[in-house]
Structure 1
């Protein structure tokens, strides 16, 4: 079963690379697409938090208040991380091109999200390999627009295509750690899955509302209709995936 688990985790990493390749193919139109992709990223992050992560956490938790407290904790935790990254950026000498804080914050959130996905995949395989593959397909299904938006955020932050694809793929590697953790620990380890999901949701809310939304301030009045459509497309994609997954 271990080889099946590793193959399933590899599919998640492959989706991360695919998101960058799709944007690379659209490179001639990237300047025109960037504001729309930023809106899509905001929609995907909000949809992932409100429609996928928080409901999933509430479903497996016996205390709704503790879940919402964890969401708030995640929001504040990412605020603290951002302040720490700002301090690190100003206090230490810079070497080479630095990504803006919001891009690095999104990498942290994406890494945590992928680790949680790995835990969910690993737990499913422990129950039944068929359930494990079903869970993997569900994860891959909802990850594609998320990975697409993650690469778009890195490109908006000034990263080259090569660097954006590499960093995004690197942040998908924690899916192996999460999956292996569940596999090796078996049924003797009880992980606070609800809290992890909720903290990740809080982080996504912080990135979408505090970091990314203000970046639209200068361009929001231009092509307003298309940008709203892109934002609602991101929300609609996540809603569609949740409905298809049967949650």
Structure 2
């Protein structure tokens, strides 16, 4: 098997396998507790961004801190503008407002946070594909172990993404299909890296920062405000504990990684 064939096979397996493992865990144990598990998702998304993706981006060779911070700011503002455009477009159009919208229209509007998390997930998987390709081009065994490590650290992030998608109104099947498509962006990253490794490597830190900005924006803008709607002491303590569980999950797998 050629190096390119190995890259395609392994990136496809890594991208989809992490989604399937996360889906099996999420759908089996968490689907009936989406409201409570939003707090876990906040912990996972923020920990993935601040403890994994951003440190990795800033540690990459050739990355300029000022440009990375500018990219982070641009990413946050960009996702804000995307959501603002969506809100303005639908601000006067709801089910039952006399405009004859189909049933489920409001759920589709609420799903904008789901679409934004898919954008970030796709970028993150693209970078993973570049990493796997670079490892395979150095040594076959290193490529295999790199793919296994990436699957391990992708699982908690994918669980967080699944919770966001379910919370945004996606059906279980729809969340699985779209997450799997995003997972396959690792193949695109791997193939492009095989032919243009130097250019792909130069873009990686900035892609990681944009992906991180989507995770941060979704957690802070969409999920945390939902949690504030339940301000009782018992609920607040439960939310804090679940956020800590999400952060701890990422840290635990990072140590294993």
Same fold, TM-score > 0.5, yes or no: yes
CA distance in 2, matches of 1:112, 1:84: 22
Q: CA deviation digits over 1:187-214, x for unaligned, max 9?
A: 5765321111122222211111112111
Match of 2:236 among 216, 219, 224: 224
| SS of 2:202 mapped into structure 1 | coil
Change (3 A) 1:120 1:80: farther
Does 2:221 match 1:210?
yes
| Alignment correspondent of 1:16 | 19
More deviation, 47-56/124-133: 124-133
Change (3 A) 1:6 1:223: same
CA distance in 1, matches of 2:252, 2:27: 26
| SS of 2:170 mapped into structure 1 | coil
Does 2:237 match 1:235?
no
Aligned length: 242
Structure 1 gaps, min length 5: none
Match of 1:3 among 2, 5, 29: 5
Change (3 A) 1:189 1:16: closer
Q: CA offset at residue 62 of structure 1?
A: 4.7
More deviation, 147-156/97-106: 97-106
Q: CA offset at residue 143 of structure 1?
A: 1.0
| Alignment correspondent of 2:210 | 199
- Equivalent residue runs for 1:125-204 within 5 Å: 125-187=136-198, 191-204=202-215
Q: CA offset at residue 12 of structure 1?
A: 2.2
CA distance in 2, matches of 1:96, 1:132: 48
| Residue pair 2:129, 2:189 contacting (<8 A) in 1 also | yes
Q: CA deviation digits over 1:123-144, x for unaligned, max 9?
A: 2222222222222122111111
CA distance in 1, matches of 2:127, 2:50: 16
Pairwise CA RMSD: 2.5
| Residue pair 2:17, 2:151 contacting (<8 A) in 1 also | no
In our comparison, the structure showing a higher alpha carbon Rg is 2
Change (3 A) 1:7 1:82: same
| Residue pair 2:127, 2:207 contacting (<8 A) in 1 also | yes
| Residue pair 1:72, 1:199 contacting (<8 A) in 2 also | no
CA distance in 1, matches of 2:139, 2:203: 21
| SS of 1:192 mapped into structure 2 | helix
CA distance in 1, matches of 2:88, 2:185: 26
Change (3 A) 1:74 1:189: closer
Q: CA offset at residue 16 of structure 1?
A: 0.7
What is the TM-score when the length of structure 2 is the normalising length?
0.83
